[in-house]
Chain A
């Protein structure tokens, strides 16, 4: 009976976060192609759009790691801006010094992630306030580090070249981001460390009682997130060429929106990098469409906020849909199960 039912169930369409956001992205791309710009897949559009999408995917994946633990990370913009500033100041525009700058970026990101993670997971402080305050500290440090006058305002040429490269109009950044999402999926599904991270994120108490060092894994989630912001910041710096103190600003709200659209709130614990990727594509393409149509940044922000609120409401509806379906299923108990005679509460 199991096999038969299994086949039937796999054929039936299931409302999952992945399928919902997948359909939404396809619809949006169709709208973009036929209603917004008559030739969306033209070289020019693709080469402006794809690097943005790539960076957003990477940053949102980081945020997804944190949100899946039930936390939130508002230190995103400060981290990205810091990385941009380090690349500027440390290389002084010289391509040869890029590697040294990268090493410093990695150390800074790990430090930020550790501070966030330890304060939130080991000392049980409020994630919102901690990440806001740490973001403030990082922003302050960035300003002190940059100083008032910079000798150069351009990132090294090898970085901007790398960030600007594309194949057939599709930016390398998008390819890197897709590869990253695939690697993250593999990590979370097949690597022991990743599986334990998922368990610890999903249910901290259950993970502890199952003998996992749940706090450690949850702190790791913050570190991974911070490193993802770092990579995103690096690529964003390369992409704009002249990173300033506002480099990270667009990523705070958008990364949260992308994660929520990816359904992390619904599934809780299981980061789905692919769903998050689609969420990032959706929010970036939507933003791009609005810009092409000539809407101001104000309108675009309103739309982002509204998409977040609507996305969450949709999640609410989906959740209730599930409980309705569960109730229906309960009315028809599988024939193999014994009737429930005595039940202790």
Chain B
């Protein structure tokens, strides 16, 4: 069923050409160590990863396009390792999203349908109307398995689908797999938990280092043989000698009760001259622990480095701690800078005299690093991307070692590194340790830890479950230690400590009742806030000037709000899927200019129809251009639409260099006609917005749009054609903006394209005030309308109060910033982190220094 698939990421060969078949009615176990290519194989079959070569055949049909929806259509359903549950949606909505088109119920029946399905799979304890946020990780995982099974797949792919389950949950999951296989489905169960594979699988395949190591009938191999196959005959890597006892110095880093998101509490101490490895299965908190040891994200507990208390990463750096991430693309190297600058970025101060970097000293330093670490390169001025993975890693390591750290924390020191560079790196580390450096290594390669480390700490679910003496640690021993802790029997042991929920409880403080209510009904609470603000502003204005609450004055505000509400709705469409369109003001301006040519007279109905026709047609053209620039040429939406804005403003000036050309009076009269103080057109908009909001909440397409905004990656995995929906949203956005231009033309009455310019900010401000998020997936159209009315009030207020027109600018800008501050969750988090750090500093200052902790072994 799978033929010669292969995938390379940069210099990393994730999966070498591999062919295998899944048979109907079998559970096929796929095992391998971390990073052996299992997830890549699953990704290719499920359509989320497009292979460099090879084909995937499902039921004899070639899946050549490699999109999730194509795989789903052919009957391949996937449960992903890191999940695809959108926490903001309800359980029922999540189930609906992942179900292929043919099997979806009508949207109205979703809750009943979901309840029925959930019962079918024995999960009736899940409340289908509750947000998925409320589920435990284990429940989410079971939900995902049920979601995939509901589609009655021909091929079911489960990527580490039992990682968050307890023993009972595993029983349920394995039972579901068996049941699916019995009904004729081919099940591929990817895992590193051998005990579970033996319980359920008919055949077992092994992957190692991206190479297929054969398929075996489950009865014909034992655990020992499998572990051997997974680990392979260990590659001929000569590890440097371990540290002799006298080379290990006093403790230099000590952590007590260290805990953070995903790990802890952990006691650990580290001595000069030793290399300590942290082992564990994927995602068991090793990386989080490593970062915690460097004070990243302000962990709880006590941490002391080199005699200094550490409460933040800044402290740690000051105390001589260096952290090297395995993410060379974003975190350990400066991709856009040449090799030379990467090598010296940490030691600029040392190379400088009077703040100016000395050319000669910099060159000397670079030369020295290159020679000392054996980095093979063309010229130090070449981009870092010209190097192989191994040499990139040497540059990263060289950059860190050049700063002469006391303590070095490294994540995956040899990920994507060729054998020769690997040996060089081991020697670099050991030599540095001989000179007194203390090293902590997180690695998914157990043989590496066994060969290099003086001590290996095994971590499971964020807690230390074993500590092995490096001299006696073997690859099998390490794997057995974490595999044992992971599988059912080990969990009861007190060492495993933390219960399934990986986050320590301390970080999840219960919300107060009011805040929980506000979060549950986010839209309602935001709308309420907006209305309250409007009432307050109105009352204030009325108190200052009693003509404020009169029909003409209100009519004036509504009239101002009319085109603004329409263009805000346009912007909302773009923002809902996570985009932005800066060009909407330009679209409005050009539409006004176009109408001043096309609709100068004639009947009302004819004029209106012509105007709308022109608007929509023009919007389609601009929207298609924006969609192409953003989605096809992949320009950032901000800069792409600024380009469009420039072009449109120019076109507007071309059409009407000065204001000229009267727009049909009949049209302008109709568009400004009112009932009491409210323009008719605004009433029409309100009705349309309510209908559209309802459609957005209560239709499958609306749900898919929301999913794209909330998490484009998960939506894509679930088979939503996210790129196409985003393109549509740009087209709809521009068309709506053009209709807003028609409304604006009705008020201006004359061909003047510059009237659109002020809407660039206003169109973004109104949805944000109304509760939409720049990240997508949030807000309502009615919120846009209220936001527009608020902005219109803010614009007319200075006139009412007799202030200059500058005041209305201030109000608009101020309101936008405040709304952005209040509604951007990242801002609140950032503030909280700053406060937390500052608070820790204060607390640390008062506390006596920590006594060195005992070695945890």
A residues adjacent to B (C-beta < 8 A): 2, 5-6, 9-10, 72, 119, 122-126, 128-130, 132-137, 139-145, 147-148, 190-193, 195-196, 198-199, 202-203, 205-213, 253, 256-257, 260, 265, 267-270, 296-306, 308-309, 312-313, 316, 326, 329-330, 334, 336-345
Contacts and interface: CB of A to CB of B under 8 A. Distances in A.
Contacts of B821: 119, 123, 125
Given A198-B341, A312-B633, A125 B820 contact: yes
A302 B647 contact: yes
Given A140-B807, A141-B810, A260-B639, A132 B761 contact: yes
Contacts of A72: 638-639, 642
B359 to A, nearest CB: 7
A36 B37 CA distance: 61
A341 B418 contact: yes
13 contacts: A6-B378, A9-B378, A124-B827, A133-B761, A141-B809, A192-B352, A198-B341, A199-B341, A208-B313, A257-B646, A334-B376, A336-B376, A345-B416
Contact of B640 (A137, A139, A312, A334): A312
Q: Which 10 A-B pairs have the closest CB atoms?
A: A140-B809, A305-B646, A301-B650, A143-B806, A298-B653, A136-B813, A302-B650, A305-B647, A298-B654, A144-B806
A302 B643 CA distance: 9
A213 B349 CA distance: 14
B177 interface: no
Contacts of A139: 806, 809, 813
Given A5-B378, A128-B582, A211-B346, A265 B639 contact: yes
Contacts of A133: 761, 765, 812-814, 816-817, 820
B210 to A, nearest CB: 7
A225 B216 CA distance: 64
A345 B760 CA distance: 45
Kindly state the interface size class of chain B when it binds its partner: 35 or more
Contacts of B416: 343-345
Interface string B14-48: 11000000000000000000011100100000000
B524 interface: no
Contacts of B357: 190-192, 195
A303 B336 contact: no
A119 B355 CA distance: 29
B518 interface: no
Contacts, number: 297
A192 B817 contact: no
Contacts of B389: 343
Contacts of B323: 209
Contacts of B403: 211
Nearest to A71: B638
A97 B768 CA distance: 43
Given A6-B379, A302-B651, A345-B416, A199 B13 contact: no
B820 A126 contact: yes
A338 B642 contact: no
B317 interface: yes
Interface string B625-646: 0000100011110111011111
Given A6-B378, A128-B582, A338 B806 contact: no
Contact of B355 (A123, A134, A140, A191): A191
A198 B813 CA distance: 31
A124 B831 CA distance: 10
Nearest to B382: A9
B545 interface: no
A133 B763 CA distance: 12
A297 B831 CA distance: 46
A136 B816 contact: yes
A191 B643 contact: no
Contacts of A334: 376
Contact of B804 (A144, A302, A338): A144
B635 A316 contact: yes
A305 B652 CA distance: 13
Given A125-B824, A299-B654, A303-B650, A344 B445 contact: yes
Contacts of B325: 205-206, 209
Contact of B830 (A2, A123, A203, A300): A123
B642 A123 contact: no
B336 A269 contact: yes
